[in-house]
């Protein structure tokens, strides 16, 4: 029996059922001959060793030992219905160990082109494969990694190794030995430290058990590269989309939330300038946000940045991605991180696939139009400015009109009823008066109302904006900031006026008392706020002619950029 050295009795823990619950010493091994032999002995004895591969660290066990494999699931907290990849050192091992029922011709072609390397091929399984490995499926995933340490470990041990990524289930895959330690120290016998992984995202997974070969998980070996070798290849729906709850995942791993830091991740899809301005506007008012972006974005971004490499170097981005996702939680106080959304072609598909899962499929499309936000204090004359801008030829989208449409949407109505009780009239339309009474009775209730309606209003406004002619659209929105629409604006114009004037205008316009008017005025942001966060301020303290002249000037500035 191999001597593991001093410390805990590893064998004892191996023989104990649910042994991963017992905290053990995890050996930190390097790639010396002696350490590789030690790791191989642990594996032969049914133990677990985290090993480097060129993609990510894998948590290895003897693939033909069901009991050993079961411990992988315990150490990772991995659902038992998620099958594992079997790693071998050489193509001949697949036949020698009878891992698959048959080797399709396309597998041979793929192996010649891409093995050893970051490609996993799914084939019909051989009868030696334990159910723990295939999670009860009749297929098995096989890969020959190119990392020299993984190779030596398989050669020295003589084993086929079942190995999922060596992270705690749900966390980003580990690309360094330290990541492994951070996640599962004390739950496995050893980590073989082979330095940082060069690829950084997990292997491309392709199934040949289908009429047309199908990519179940994209990696740095791209669809285009594979098609050049074996002809047409499909991409499984789950690669780029969220499956409905009743849809079955071809690759069980694709149905779980994955790669997620504690902070919320949101993907922003759109032009680079829009991405940068969104982040800067958000950060100006909320310092709990951060950006996950390209090197080229960073100099222009005011928020804390986690960069994942140059825009043009997708391989560098792949290498940095998981480390970046882990780094999010290391920046203190970050609640939301906005990631610059990659394209979905080439290696970008792999990046998108991981990021969209880290984001739990939350993605925001940035507007393609130039958006001019028009806002200001009640009674200051914003609507009049909107009218004049429209007359000059700029299309205007009104938040008030969008709000009227939004509250008639069935989803919004259902949410309003769930929150405020039955606020519908007999004909099913919204009883606005009743809703207003209920929702404006306290600031807390008002913000609940806003949380329900603002996203729907914004959606309607952005949809309308995209459909209008021309490349510039004015958003007429008194609640531009409260709704978060400010972050989408290229310029923000604030209309202000002296309080006495506004009081006078509101009481006359709406036929309300001074107290009511004052209550409305004090519920809004103060002048200072608008001065700080708007790009242009227009004071409307004079005559209609004066306002007309200022708006003309404003218009000229807007159309000249």
165-184: contacts with ligand TXA (CB under 6 A): 165
The residue among 247 and 546 lying less far from ligand TXA, judged by its C-beta, is 247
- Is 19 a binder of ligand TXA (CB under 6 A)? no
- Which pair of structure tokens corresponds to residue 205? 């997974």
The residue among 251 and 375 lying less far from ligand TXA, judged by its C-beta, is 251
- Is 534 a binder of ligand TXA (CB under 6 A)? no
The residue among 141 and 538 lying less far from ligand TXA, judged by its C-beta, is 141
Binds 53, which of ligand TXA, Mg ion, none (CB < 5 to 8 A, cut-off by type)? ligand TXA
The residue among 293 and 358 lying less far from Mg ion, judged by its C-beta, is 358
Q: Are 512 and 519 in contact (CB under 8 A)?
A: no
Cβ neighbourhood burial of 27 (10 Å; 0-12, 13-18, 19+): buried
In the sheet that holds 27-29, the strands lie side by side as 27-29, 190-192, 49-51, 58-62, 161-162, 85-87, 139-143, 119-124, 204-207, 214-217, 234-235
β-strands 491-496, 27-29 pairing: unpaired
Three-class secondary structure of residue 548 per DSSP: helix
Alpha helices of 337-423 — where are they, by DSSP H? 348-358, 382-392, 399-406, 410-420
- Is 58 a binder of ligand TXA (CB under 6 A)? yes
Binder among 202, 297, 486, 490 for ligand TXA (CB under 6 A): 202
CA 358 – CA 336 distance, rounded (Å)? 12
- Is 126 a binder of ligand TXA (CB under 6 A)? no
Give me the residues paired with residue 58 across strands: 51, 165
Q: Tell me how crowded residue 347 is: count the other CB atoms within 10 A of its CB.
A: 24
Binder among 99, 122, 328, 534 for ligand TXA (CB under 6 A): 122
Using CB under 6 A as the binding criterion, the count of chain residues that bind ligand TXA stands at 30
Cis, bond preceding 116 (omega within 30 deg of 0): yes
User: Which of 40, 326, 38, 30 has the alpha carbon at shortest distance from 175?
Assistant: 326
Q: How far is the CB of 252 from ligand TXA (least distance, A)?
A: 4
- Is 164 a binder of ligand TXA (CB under 6 A)? yes
Contact positions toward Mg ion, by CB under 5 A?
Answer: 165
- Is 478 a binder of ligand TXA (CB under 6 A)? no
Binds 203, which of ligand TXA, Mg ion, none (CB < 5 to 8 A, cut-off by type)? ligand TXA
The residue among 57 and 481 lying less far from Mg ion, judged by its C-beta, is 57
Q: How far is the CB of 306 from ligand TXA (least distance, A)?
A: 22
Q: How far is the CB of 251 from ligand TXA (least distance, A)?
A: 4
User: Which of 466, 460, 492, 490 has the alpha carbon at shortest distance from 370?
Assistant: 490
Three-class secondary structure of residue 330 per DSSP: coil
CA 261 – CA 264 distance, rounded (Å)? 7
For Mg ion, the nearest residue by Cβ is 165
Q: Provide the CB-side half-sphere exposure for 165 (13 A, CA).
A: 25
**At a CB cut-off of 8 Å and minimum separation 6, what does 34 contact?**
none
Q: How far is the CB of 357 from ligand TXA (least distance, A)?
A: 11
Residue 509 dihedral angles phi and psi, to the nearest 5°: -65, -45
Q: Provide the CB-side half-sphere exposure for 531 (13 A, CA).
A: 5
Binder among 13, 26, 31, 139 for ligand TXA (CB under 6 A): 139
Q: How far is the CB of 330 from ligand TXA (least distance, A)?
A: 23
- Is 161 a binder of ligand TXA (CB under 6 A)? no
Residue 343 DSSP class: P
The residue among 212 and 429 lying less far from ligand TXA, judged by its C-beta, is 212
The residue among 116 and 164 lying less far from ligand TXA, judged by its C-beta, is 164
Q: How far is the CB of 211 from Mg ion (least distance, A)?
A: 27
390-429: contacts with ligand TXA (CB under 6 A): none
For ligand TXA, the nearest residue by Cβ is 253
Residues in contact with ligand TXA by CB under 6 A are 53, 55-56, 58, 82-85, 118, 120, 122, 134, 137, 139-141, 143, 145, 163-165, 202-203, 205, 216-217, 251-254
């Amino acid at each position: 029996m191999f001597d593991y050295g001093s410390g805990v009795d590893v064998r004892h823990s191996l023989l104990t059922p649910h042994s991963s619950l017992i905290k053990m010493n995890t050996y930190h091994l390097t790639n010396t001959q002696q350490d590789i032999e030690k790791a191989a002995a642990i594996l032969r004895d049914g133990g677990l060793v985290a090993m480097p591969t060129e993609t990510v660290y894998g948590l290895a066990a003897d693939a033909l030992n069901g009991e050993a494999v079961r411990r992988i699931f315990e150490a990772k907290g991995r659902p038992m219905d998620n099958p594992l990849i079997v790693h071998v050192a050489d193509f001949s091992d697949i036949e020698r160990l009878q891992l698959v029922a048959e080797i399709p011709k396309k597998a041979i072609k793929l192996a010649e082109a891409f093995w050893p390397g970051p490609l996993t091929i799914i084939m019909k399984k051989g009868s030696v494969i334990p159910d723990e490995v295939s999670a009860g499926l009749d297929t098995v995933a096989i890969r020959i990694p190119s990392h020299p340490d993984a190779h030596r470990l398989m050669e020295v041990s003589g084993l086929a190794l079942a190995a999922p990524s060596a992270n705690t289930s749900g966390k980003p895959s580990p690309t360094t030995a330290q990541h492994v330690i951070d996640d599962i120290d004390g739950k496995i016998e050893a980590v073989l430290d082979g330095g940082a992984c060069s690829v950084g995202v997990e292997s491309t997974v392709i199934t040949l058990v289908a009429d047309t070969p199908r990519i179940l998980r994209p990696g740095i070996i791209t669809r285009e590269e594979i098609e050049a070798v074996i002809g047409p290849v499909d991409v499984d729906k789950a690669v780029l989309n969220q499956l409905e709850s009743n849809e079955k995942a071809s690759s069980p791993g694709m149905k779980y939330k994955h790669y997620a830091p504690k902070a919320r991740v949101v993907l922003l899809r759109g032009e680079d300038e829009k991405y940068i301005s969104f982040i800067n506007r958000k950060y100006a008012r909320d310092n709990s946000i951060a950006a996950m972006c390209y090197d080229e974005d960073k100099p222009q971004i005011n928020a804390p940045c986690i960069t994942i490499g140059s825009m043009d170097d997708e391989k560098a981005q792949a290498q940095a991605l998981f480390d970046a996702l882990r780094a999010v939680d290391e920046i203190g106080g970050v609640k939301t991180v906005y990631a610059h959304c990659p394209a979905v072609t080439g290696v970008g598909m792999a990046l998108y696939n991981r990021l969209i899962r880290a984001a739990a499929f939350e993605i925001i499309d940035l507007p393609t139009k130039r958006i001019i936000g028009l806002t200001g204090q009640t009674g200051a004359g914003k609507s009049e400015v909107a009218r004049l801008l429209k007359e000059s030829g700029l299309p205007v989208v009104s938040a008030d009109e969008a709000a009227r449409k939004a509250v008639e949407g069935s989803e919004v109505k259902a949410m309003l009823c769930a929150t405020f009780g039955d606020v519908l009239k007999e004909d099913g339309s919204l009883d606005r008066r009743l809703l207003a009474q209920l929702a404006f009775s306290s600031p807390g209730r008002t913000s609940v109302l806003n949380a329900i309606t603002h996203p729907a209003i914004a959606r309607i406004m952005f949809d309308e904006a995209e459909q209008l002619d021309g490349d510039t659209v004015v958003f007429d929105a008194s609640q531009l900031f409260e709704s978060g629409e400010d972050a989408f604006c290229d310029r923000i114009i604030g209309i202000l006026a002296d309080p006495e004037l506004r009081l006078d205008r509101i009481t006359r316009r709406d036929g309300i008392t001074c107290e009511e008017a004052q209550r409305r005025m004090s519920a809004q942001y103060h002048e200072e706020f608008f001065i700080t966060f708007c790009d242009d301020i227009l004071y409307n303290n004079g005559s209609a002619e004066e306002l007309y002249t200022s708006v003309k000037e404003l218009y000229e500035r807007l159309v000249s950029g």
